[in-house]
Chains A and B, each alone.
Chain A
Amino acid sequence: MALSSSMFFAFAAFVLLLHYSLPKKWQNPLLLLASYGFYIGLSPQFAAVLAVMTAVNYACALWIDRNRRRSRSRLWAGIAFNVAALVFFKAGSLFLPDLLALFQRLGLPAPSPGMRIVLPVGFSFYVLQALSYLVDVERRQAPACARPVDFALYLAYFPKLTAGPIERAQRFIPQLAVPRTAGQIDLERSAGLIFLGLLRKIVIADLLLQSIPAKAFRAPGEFSPLELAAWLVAYAVGVYNDFCGYTDLARGVSGLFGIGLSRNFNLPFFSRNFTELWNRWHMTLCFWIRDYVYFPISRALVRRGDRFGRGVNLFLPPVAAAMASGLWHGFSAKFIAWGALMGLLLIAERLASQLRPARPISAIPVWKRSLSVLKLWLLAGLLALLSAAEPGPALAFFSRLFSSAPWRWPNSRVFLVILPSAWLDTCQLRSGDELFFLRWPLLWRAVFLALAGGAIFLFSRSGIPAPYIYQGF
């Protein structure tokens, strides 16, 4: 059940009706029940894994909180459990043949040879929420949640279950403690986010991603450099709208239940460098990695106060953070290459920033800023490409892109679809509000909603919406 499907909206509307009809004390149990119902609809096994992860992490946080003298070792036990589960589901299929052979050698009853390890949808997202919760409880930055329903809902809440945003317990759980009434909902903003999410997903992302020929990344030699450049930009903009659209939808639906979710994108295509892109793209993941991987390593090195610490700090934290991000996306050569490249780019920027004084954005000429953005787009395209193809074809793609092969003009439909995305982002930047159209005069707002609504209706009739890319992680 994709978030942009009519079935999901019927499900959410039914739960919403019950949510505001039932007594307040039943709101959280109802949301938990609905969330598990939603997940069981995807797979009962996924729901069973979630229930086990919830029970273990709930108990572990109380265990950490109970004895402060042993809290650190108990935290490490909790981290080991979650990381082992993540590695098992992400990389288990790589080791499965060896495992089956081992069972055979030891004469143990071997599992069926056709057995597969399937990564539960949303697992990579909710396991990070569980990890940050344990760390924050140990650091006394979040209380151990005594109410099992609230904690279970923190991991299972259906609008964010399949692909985030990755919430922090300190922000999410307190929202469950207050009863929510229909009168408190910001209906305009929630509906606006749902509308924007559908527009980005159905009208922009699906069209863009479908317009890229399947062979573009596998056999780039069949295309001209100009076509490849167009597919590269189309892919980066398509992935952005797919995921940003998903997050807007999730936030909008959640807003109707009176629960705020975090923003995941802040106009990433206006970043001037990779360090800034890191703060604007999939923000809840990047901030998680920054707070729980980068900062602790960097702080330990800076605290040494010597040249060794300062030197190592230039490269170890960026590499660790980028590799953590790569491995979170997948245990494969392409994501390791992706992480390594991202780490190298971050190091290059850190080194460059050590050599010259910083200047405020306003003091940099516009042409220079535009060049930085162009350079970033090219590199972002390379990163996006690496996430889509194995390193070999990705390198072949880039050598063809910069070759002197005859130029052939790409299908102009790609540019027609990129334009609305660029227009949306520019409006959001100029207005300073992601829901810029809510500030417009009534007539303009009505025209925009009618045109965009018509496009959503038209394209949603063309078939089943494509699954969200990030649900695959």
Chain B
Amino acid sequence: MSPTWSEDEIKNRLREYLCREIIKDEGISLQDDDPLLSGGLIDSFSLVYIAVFIEREFGVRIPDTELSVETMDTINAMSARIGRERP
């Protein structure tokens, strides 16, 4: 992944994408620890879109077996998973 991304930038890019493309409501206020899957805001089938976005945007490939509530339930969790691939 590009080393120029700070943690806050990653979270903001994720938030922007989730609101616009997945939740389809740009006016929604999404916090870093809001439960997305368990809170009913996204369904498990949307995880592939998010995974491909993360792949393109941050260069991190999240395997299919990790696309679950443990890794993808909050913006914090997604950001932490992206951060694991940092050098």
Residues of chain A at the chain B interface (Cβ within 8 Å):
136, 139, 141, 168, 272, 275-276, 278-279, 287, 290-292, 294-296, 298-299, 302-303, 313, 317-318, 346, 350, 353-354, 356-362, 364
**B24 touches which of A272, A276, A292, A357 (Cβ 8 Å):** A357
The residues of A that contact B47 with a CB separation of less than 8 Å are 295
Q: CB distance A299 to B63 under 8 Å?
A: no
**A360 touches which of B39, B49, B65, B68 (Cβ 8 Å):** B39
- The residue of chain B having its C-beta at the shortest distance from the C-beta of A361 within the complex is B40
Q: Within the assembled complex, what's the spacing in Å between the Cα atoms of A294 and B43? A: 14
Q: CB within 8 Å of A: which of B60-84?
A: 63-65, 67-68
- The residue of chain A having its C-beta at the shortest distance from the C-beta of B34 within the complex is A360
Q: CB distance A299 to B39 under 8 Å?
A: no
Q: CB within 8 Å of A: which of B21-56?
A: 22-25, 28, 34, 39-45, 47-49, 51-52
**A272 touches which of B25, B39, B40, B45 (Cβ 8 Å):** B40
Q: Within the assembled complex, what's the spacing in Å between the Cα atoms of A139 and B63? A: 9
Known A-B contacts A168-B65, A358-B40, A359-B40; A294 and B23 likewise in contact (beta carbons under 8 Å): no
A148 vs chain B, min Cβ distance (A): 24
Q: Within the assembled complex, what's the spacing in Å between the Cα atoms of A275 and B23? A: 16
- The residue of chain B having its C-beta at the shortest distance from the C-beta of A299 within the complex is B48
The residues of A that contact B41 with a CB separation of less than 8 Å are 358-360
**SS class of chain A's interface: helix, strand, loop or mixed?**
helix
**A290 touches which of B28, B44, B49, B51 (Cβ 8 Å):** B44
**SS class of chain B's interface: helix, strand, loop or mixed?**
loop
A126 vs chain B, min Cβ distance (A): 19
B39 vs chain A, min Cβ distance (A): 5
The residues of B that contact A354 with a CB separation of less than 8 Å are 24
A401 vs chain B, min Cβ distance (A): 30
- The residue of chain A having its C-beta at the shortest distance from the C-beta of B39 within the complex is A360
Q: Within the assembled complex, what's the spacing in Å between the Cα atoms of A361 and B35? A: 10
Q: Within the assembled complex, what's the spacing in Å between the Cα atoms of A278 and B47? A: 15
Known A-B contacts A291-B64, A357-B24; A298 and B48 likewise in contact (beta carbons under 8 Å): yes
Q: Within the assembled complex, what's the spacing in Å between the Cα atoms of A141 and B62? A: 11
The residues of B that contact A136 with a CB separation of less than 8 Å are 65
Q: Within the assembled complex, what's the spacing in Å between the Cα atoms of A360 and B43? A: 11
- The residue of chain B having its C-beta at the shortest distance from the C-beta of A168 within the complex is B65
The 4 A-B residue pairs whose C-beta atoms are closest, nearest first, are A357-B25, A361-B40, A295-B64, A298-B48
B87 vs chain A, min Cβ distance (A): 19
Q: Within the assembled complex, what's the spacing in Å between the Cα atoms of A354 and B43? A: 12
- The residue of chain A having its C-beta at the shortest distance from the C-beta of B25 within the complex is A357
Q: CB distance B44 to A362 under 8 Å?
A: no
Q: CB distance B45 to A303 under 8 Å?
A: no
Q: CB distance A358 to B22 under 8 Å?
A: yes
B15 vs chain A, min Cβ distance (A): 14
Q: Within the assembled complex, what's the spacing in Å between the Cα atoms of A52 and B25? A: 54
The residues of B that contact A357 with a CB separation of less than 8 Å are 23-25, 28
Q: Within the assembled complex, what's the spacing in Å between the Cα atoms of A428 and B37? A: 20
Q: Within the assembled complex, what's the spacing in Å between the Cα atoms of A290 and B64? A: 9
